Homo-oligomer: A and B are copies of this chain.
Amino acid sequence: MLEATLNEAATLKRLLDAVKELVQDANFECNEGGINLQAMDNSHVALVAVKLHADGFALFRCDRPIPLGVNLGSLTKVLKCAKDDDKCTLKAADDGDVLSLKYEAHRADRVAEYDMKLMDIDADTLGIPDTDYDVRVTMLSSEFARIVRDLNSLGESVRIEVSKEGVRFASDGEAAQGNILLKQTEAARERYENYGKDDDDQAEEVKEEEDKPKKAKKAKKVKKEEGLEDEDEEMVSGDNDQAEFQAKSEDEGEEEVSDSEKKKRKRSTASSSAKKKAKKAIDDMAEGGGGGVHIEMTQHVNLTFSLKYLVIFSKSASLSDTVQLMLKNDVPLLVSYTFGQGYIRYYLAPKIGDD
């Protein structure tokens, strides 16, 4: 039995806006920790991972893990029927094949109920490459969206190059060739330096949007060039240059999530005020002048990606003011949006060679 109430239906709507473009059907894995979704697009080039923390819900109850096989098109239709600020309750029986959605106006004079058929979906939980990225770019999600949309009108792919100069997005098209250079914003750098003095603060900024302690550490590495740690990740890591993701067993997936959840909570408690400070710095950057770009780099990187997918990813801008791009040569790009109730992350394999 799943019963979960979100205070704003808009969260779900926005989440689906981008995901439905990538995959038609997907399992919402519900367990005590919250709701997860992982799916690859049909061509196995892009992967999307969504997490909604249980404590991001106004009410959350899930007695035992349930996979909800959902046709995202249908779910989108049903969500369209919710007003953005409606209270939204999801319900599913343990063995049922129906997902019920209840929308309640806050004034309680309107109650809408929808029942959606569920389906069985092959449940290959996918292994997400755990990568020690060399670069993290934090920027306005709207700016990222603008850039990929602009370049998408010129060509099919974009080369993303990060150097001391900044981050450059370049695209070649038949009609024209274009590139956009974003320099580290002075203001952003200053704020960064201030808060960066305390390494824990800085690391927490990342941890906040990371489930896996390992990744948090790696983010630290991005800043301080610490050595790698925790190379026991069950999946591809390091020199992964393949364009496709691999499936792993479902059990491993579950384990990983709940395990890291615990660790995350421990850390959060330890330094939550510092975290807030760091978060504030990021927020300031986001608002402080419409273009703050924050770059952390241990290595120059230069990769090429399909713009089609980046344009789809960038539709998640409505979920968060900022987006983080994590890069490392020959490894899938990670595009991450973090919001109050969880996150949505996209992984996109780079184009190899000159295609």
Contact A180 B77 (CB under 8 A): no
- What are the interface flags for A116-156 relative to B under an 8 Å C-beta threshold, 1 for contact and 0 otherwise? 11000000000000000000000000010010001101100
Q: How far is the CA of A290 from the CA of B110 in the complex (A)?
A: 11
A97 CB, nearest partner CB in chain B, Å: 13
Q: Which residues of B contact A110 (CB under 8 A)?
A: 143, 180-183, 291
A81 at the binding interface (Cβ < 8 Å): yes
A352 at the binding interface (Cβ < 8 Å): no
CB-CB nearest 5 A-B residue pairs: A74-B175, A114-B178, A81-B150, A112-B180, A116-B176
Q: How far is the CA of A271 from the CA of B131 in the complex (A)?
A: 71
Return the contact of A78 from the options B71, B116, B176 (Cβ within 8 A).
Answer: B176
Q: Which residues of B contact A186 (CB under 8 A)?
A: 109
A49 CB, nearest partner CB in chain B, Å: 25
Contact A109 B183 (CB under 8 A): yes
Tell me what chain A mostly uses at the interface: helix, strand, loop, or mixed: mixed
A177 at the binding interface (Cβ < 8 Å): yes
- In the complex with contacts A107-B291, A115-B177, A175-B117, A77-B153 CB distance below 8 A: yes
Return the contact of A291 from the options B105, B112, B151 (Cβ within 8 A).
Answer: B105
Q: Which B residue's beta carbon lies closest to that of A186?
A: B109
Contact B175 A116 (CB under 8 A): yes
A184 CB, nearest partner CB in chain B, Å: 8
A185 at the binding interface (Cβ < 8 Å): yes
A353 at the binding interface (Cβ < 8 Å): no
A179 at the binding interface (Cβ < 8 Å): yes
Q: How far is the CA of A151 from the CA of B109 in the complex (A)?
A: 18
Q: How far is the CA of A116 from the CA of B175 in the complex (A)?
A: 6
A213 at the binding interface (Cβ < 8 Å): no
Contact B185 A114 (CB under 8 A): no
A72 CB, nearest partner CB in chain B, Å: 11
Residues 148-178 of A contacting B (Cβ, < 8 Å): 150-151, 153-154, 175-178
A residues whose Cβ falls under 8 Å from a Cβ of B: 71, 73-74, 77-78, 80-81, 83, 105, 107-117, 143, 146, 150-151, 153-154, 175-183, 185-186, 289-291, 293
Q: How far is the CA of A182 from the CA of B107 in the complex (A)?
A: 11
Q: Which B residue's beta carbon lies closest to that of A172?
A: B115
A143 CB, nearest partner CB in chain B, Å: 8
A85 CB, nearest partner CB in chain B, Å: 11
Q: Which B residue's beta carbon lies closest to that of A146?
A: B83
Q: How far is the CA of A11 from the CA of B146 in the complex (A)?
A: 20
Contact B291 A180 (CB under 8 A): no
Contact A179 B113 (CB under 8 A): yes
A26 CB, nearest partner CB in chain B, Å: 15
A183 CB, nearest partner CB in chain B, Å: 5
A189 CB, nearest partner CB in chain B, Å: 11
Q: Which B residue's beta carbon lies closest to that of A77?
A: B153
Q: How far is the CA of A186 from the CA of B291 in the complex (A)?
A: 48
A317 CB, nearest partner CB in chain B, Å: 16
Q: Which residues of B contact A178 (CB under 8 A)?
A: 78, 81, 112-115
Q: Which residues of B contact A185 (CB under 8 A)?
A: 107, 109
- In the complex with contacts A175-B73, A289-B107, A291-B107, A112-B78 CB distance below 8 A: no
Q: How far is the CA of A87 from the CA of B31 in the complex (A)?
A: 52
Q: How far is the CA of A81 from the CA of B108 in the complex (A)?
A: 44
Contact A179 B291 (CB under 8 A): no
